[in-house]
Amino acid sequence: MSVFIRTTSGGKSVTDFIVRVQKAYTPTAGDALHAGAFQVSRLSKRTDSGHDAEGKIFAPYSKNGPYYYNPNGRVNPAERRQISLKSQKTKVTNALKNRGIKGAQKSSTGKSIRFENYAAYKRWTGARNVNLRGPSAPGMRDAIQMKAGGRTFYPNERRSMFSVTSNRTHVSELRIGVYGDEAKKATGHQYGNPATKLPKRQFLGATGSDLRSMTDEMMQHMRARASKK
C-alpha cells in the first residue's frame, strides 16, 4: 500500500499526519462490516439464483414424499392443541385460496396441505429453483449475522452503522454466519446431513473474486476515512 504524505495548512506536523494516515489505514470494525454487508448481498443474490457460494448449482429439493405443510407454522404439540380445529382448517383453506390448488390438496384431517413431495411444495410457493427460503420469514437466511470488534450486526442494519466514522475498533477478523435457533438448520445445509439425507448446499463462503471485492470495498472505506479531517 502506498501512502503519499504532504504537509497541510492546518498546522499539524508531518509526524502527526503520518500517524493519522497509518491509523486510518488500519482496518476497523466499520470497514469490515461495510465489506461484509456487500458480501452478504452477493451471497443472497447467488442463493436466490439457485447457486452455492462457489457458483455451483444447488442439489435439487427432495422428490421423496409425501410432504405435508402446516400453515399454522412450526408449533409443538402442546401449542397446537391450543389452536382450535376450526382455526387450523380455516388457515388451510385460506392458503389454498391464496396460492391455488395446483399440486396441492387438503390432508385427510384437513389441518395441513398434502404435496407429492417437498419439491412440489416449493413449486407451489412460487420458487423457481432451490433458494433455501422457508415458508415464512424470518427464516434461516434472515438469521445471517456479521461479527466484528466484539459486536454482532445484521447486514440490513442502517448503513450509518458501517459509516467511515462508526465502529472504529481495530479488527483483524470478520465473521459471517448463522447463529442462534437457525444455526442447526444452516449447518445441515452447509455441510449436508447423511442421517436425514439432506444434501450439501454450501450457501456461505467466499470465492477468490469475492475476497478481492471485499478487499477493494474495505480499502475504499479506509481511504474515505483517511480523507476526513
Q: How far is CA 208 from CA 34, 113, 114, 135, 203, in A?
A: 18, 43, 43, 33, 15
User: Cell numbers of 203, please?
Assistant: 450457501
State the Cα–Cα distance between residues 49 and 130, nearest whole angstrom: 8
Q: What is the pLDDT of residue 139?
A: 83
pLDDT, averaged in runs of 10, over the chain (229 residues): 37 54 77 90 94 95 92 65 76 84 88 93 91 78 90 77 78 89 90 93 92 91 80
Distance CA 213, CA 159 (A): 18
Burial (CB count <10 Å: 0-12, 13-18, 19+), residue 203: buried
Kindly report whether the global pTM for this prediction surpasses the value 0.85: no
In this prediction, residue 23 carries a pLDDT of 67
Could you give the CA distance from residue 10 to residue 123 in angstroms, rounded to a whole number? 64
Using the 8-state DSSP alphabet, how is residue 187 labeled? Answer: H
Tell how strand 144-148 and strand 151-153 pair up. antiparallel
